[in-house]
Amino acid sequence: MAVEYTDEQEFKVSPKRLFKAMVIDSHHLLPKIIPHVFKRIDVVEGEGGTAGCIRILRFVDGAPFTHLKDTFEVIDTENLMVKVVILEGPMLGEKIESLHSNKWFLDSGDGGCILKWKTKLHLKPGHTNVSEEELKAIREQSVAFLKATDEYLLAHPEVCA
CB 123 within 8 A of CB 95: yes
> In whole angstroms, what is the distance from residue 117 CA to residue 104 CA?
6
Residue 18, Cβ neighbours under 10 Å: how many? Answer: 23
Domain boundaries, the chain: 2-155
> In whole angstroms, what is the distance from residue 72 CA to residue 88 CA?
14
The predicted model scores a pTM of 0.92
Model confidence over 117-155: pLDDT tens digits? Answer: 999 999 999 998 888 888 888 888 888 889 999 999 999
pLDDT tens, residue order, the chain (161 aa): 888 999 999 999 999 999 999 999 999 999 999 998 899 999 999 999 999 999 999 999 988 889 999 999 999 999 999 999 999 998 888 889 999 999 999 999 999 999 999 999 999 999 988 888 888 888 888 888 899 999 999 999 999 99
Q: Specify the CATH class of 2-155 in words.
A: alpha beta
